[in-house]
Structure 1
Amino acid sequence: MNIKLEMLRVFRVVAEKGNLAGAADALGRTPSAVSMTLAQLEDEIGAPLFEADRKNRLSPLGQFVLDESARATDAFARSLGAIRRHAASVAGTVRVAAVPSATVTVLPGVIAAFRAERPDVRLEISDVDSEAVRRRVMLDEADIGIISSPIDDDADGLPILEDDLGIACRSDGPIAHHVRSGDAASWDLLRLEPMVANPLCQLVRHPGVAEALASCNLEARNTSALLSFIRAGLGASVLPRSAVATETGELSFVAPNDPQTRRALRKISNPERRFSPAVGAFWAAL
């Protein structure tokens, strides 16, 4: 069977557009050329991929071939992108996907030190939650990932930072007031203010946090946004100590011990991908 990648690309566009004319416009070809490519693909497969000549309804086999075509053409596009990035920068490019708290606490110092040693390397940083970091690394959309996980979870990655989780709140709010008054630093204090949810809340095993999340109607995943919402008096949230350490007296950090909860930042990579020299150097810098 002599199926070419270009056949799969053309078929994918036709299936997504639902007609030859639209696909021809998108591909910069004539409808007859697109139709000929589809015919060649169906001849190679030995069965029709569409239910009708109008190309707006896939056969069951066609749906399977579409899924595989999408995987194949996406993988090719990622590889082509990597080649182009490397060609555009002699020193190379490093793509890092990190949880937002890492972009605030860890990466600035690492980047400053790395650029002092390797100023010719291009760095591309994106901040997303841990699950999205894992997906980007596995799909080769990022060279290095930084995830957040429980301190005792060593299932994947290498730890680069351990930190207390606690309640970030306004210094003039009811949570901070109760602590100053001598009340125990408990996760139950979250009942005193609205909760601003974020993925780190899921790492705390306490009914008070679960209750606060159940009634929460505001969520943010970016650390800067979370801190901004807390400053504005919209509620309190669960954050690492390091995310609040550089804040002025406007915000307070309360570290409950019922239970004490710590998280680890871990660096991850795709074991099936070989590091370029630039990526290897940044990995070591972390």
Structure 2
Amino acid sequence: MSIKLEMLRTFSVTAAQGTLAGAAAVLGRTPSAVSMMLAQFEEEVGGPLFETDRKSRLTPLGQLVLLESQRATDVFDKSANAIRRHAMSTTGIVRIAAVPSATVALLPDVIEAFRAVHPDVRIEISDVDSITVRARVEYDEADIGIVSAPPDAPLEGERIRSDDLGIVCAENGPIHMAYLRNEDASGWEALGLESLIANPLCELVDDPIVNDLRFASTLEARNTTAILSFVRRGLGASILPFDAVRSQPDGLKFFVPTQSVSQRELRKIRHEKEMVRGPILAFWNLLAQ
């Protein structure tokens, strides 16, 4: 007999519950059946996994085996869930990893157009930063990625659009008040009037003032909704593209500095070795320039 997934799951549940009766209730089996499965598992492992018959304490071997059991069952459950998700959709699934500003400004229109042709395809969106987007595409955790990049960066994927980066601040905050008083608040130096809420897009601004403020910042956020909420509460100002703020409620102001204009590009990426077809290819093509 070899080690089976059922043994790993039974052992993990028993270790979590601490008793045979508790594990039996979770697993939907009798205590005697759970006990027999554990005995077979210990025989395969080659040593005892519990200190006592009450199953409330693990041996050193049991602690090591528990980690591997949890790892194995987690991987299996993840794969099983992915298969179920595919089965739920008659034509497949499209997994998108995108930077927050693209999720807010770009994807709603694309999803609407996609659903008009593929109403039964399941779409999964993860809202993460560019580094994580690249990792998810690389490790096949996303079919399509959307990243932010400076226009002069090495070509990566395909360009979707570009837009100017600007300062987003509270309507009644120091930056906007200075702007209304016709004070010199039209450049990146205006950020010095408030605390900077740092985010990955700040790194795309090639300006020494922004660099200094970014390193001195005591608040950083990577989600556009969170950033705008913090700005609206008066916790500071930040740097975002206009697309990320154009549909937001009142209480925010946005302007592009007249000097040292900085842009960002949205680019779509996919795994180079994966053949893209079906719904994924259809979604990819809708992300056009």
TM-score (norm 1): 0.77
Matched, 1:111 2:111: yes
Q: How does 1:141-160 map to 2 (within 5 A)?
A: 142-151=142-151, 158-160=158-160
- Does the 8 Å contact 1:166/1:240 carry over to 2? yes
Question: By how many angstroms is 1:280 displaced?
Answer: 3.1
1: CA distance between counterparts of 2:59 and 2:155?
42
- Point out where structure 2 has 5 or more consecutive residues left out of the alignment: none
Question: How many correspondences in the alignment?
Answer: 284
Question: By how many angstroms is 1:237 displaced?
Answer: 1.0
Report what 1:5 is aligned to.
5
- Does the 8 Å contact 2:162/2:265 carry over to 1? yes
2: CA distance between counterparts of 1:101 and 1:59?
50
Matched, 1:279 2:264: no
Report what 2:120 is aligned to.
120
Higher alpha-carbon deviation: 102-111 or 267-276: 267-276
- Does the 8 Å contact 2:202/2:210 carry over to 1? no
Matched position secondary structure for 1:235: coil
Q: How does 1:80-95 map to 2 (within 5 A)?
A: 80-95=80-95
> Structure 1 residues 41 and 265 mapped into 2: Cα distance closer, same or farther (>3 Å)?
farther
Q: After superposition, what is the alpha-carbon deviation per residue over 1:149-178, rounded to whole angstroms, capped at 9, x for unaligned?
A: 555555975543433333212456433455
> Structure 1 residues 14 and 187 mapped into 2: Cα distance closer, same or farther (>3 Å)?
farther
Q: Which amino acid aligns with 1:254?
A: V
2: CA distance between counterparts of 1:194 and 1:52?
58
Higher alpha-carbon deviation: 20-29 or 174-183: 174-183
Q: Which amino acid aligns with 2:99?
A: V
Q: How does 1:109-258 map to 2 (within 5 A)?
A: 109-130=109-130, 133=133, 142-151=142-151, 158-170=158-170, 173-176=173-176, 178=178, 181=182, 183=184, 185-204=186-205, 206=208, 208-211=210-213, 214-217=216-219, 220-245=221-246, 251-255=253-257
- Does the 8 Å contact 1:188/1:209 carry over to 2? no
Q: After superposition, what is the alpha-carbon deviation per residue over 1:203-260, rounded to whole angstroms, capped at 9, x for unaligned?
A: 556454543664535x5443234334434544311112322345689512234755x5
Q: Which amino acid aligns with 2:213?
A: E
Percent of aligned pairs sharing the same letter: 58
Question: By how many angstroms is 1:16 displaced?
Answer: 3.1
Q: How does 1:5-84 map to 2 (within 5 A)?
A: 5-84=5-84
CA RMSD of aligned residues (A): 3.7
Question: By how many angstroms is 1:116 displaced?
Answer: 2.6
2: CA distance between counterparts of 1:26 and 1:202?
50
2: CA distance between counterparts of 1:82 and 1:250?
40
- Point out where structure 1 has 5 or more consecutive residues left out of the alignment: none
- Does the 8 Å contact 1:187/1:209 carry over to 2? no
2: CA distance between counterparts of 1:271 and 1:63?
40
- Does the 8 Å contact 2:20/2:31 carry over to 1? yes
Question: By how many angstroms is 1:54 displaced?
Answer: 4.1
Matched position secondary structure for 1:103: helix
2: CA distance between counterparts of 1:99 and 1:72?
31
2: CA distance between counterparts of 1:56 and 1:228?
47
- Does the 8 Å contact 1:96/1:126 carry over to 2? yes
- Does the 8 Å contact 2:198/2:217 carry over to 1? no
Q: After superposition, what is the alpha-carbon deviation per residue over 1:18-72, rounded to whole angstroms, capped at 9, x for unaligned?
A: 4433322221222322222222222222233345544444445434433333332
2: CA distance between counterparts of 1:253 and 1:72?
51
Higher alpha-carbon deviation: 114-123 or 266-275: 266-275
Question: By how many angstroms is 1:192 displaced?
Answer: 0.3
2: CA distance between counterparts of 1:269 and 1:63?
40
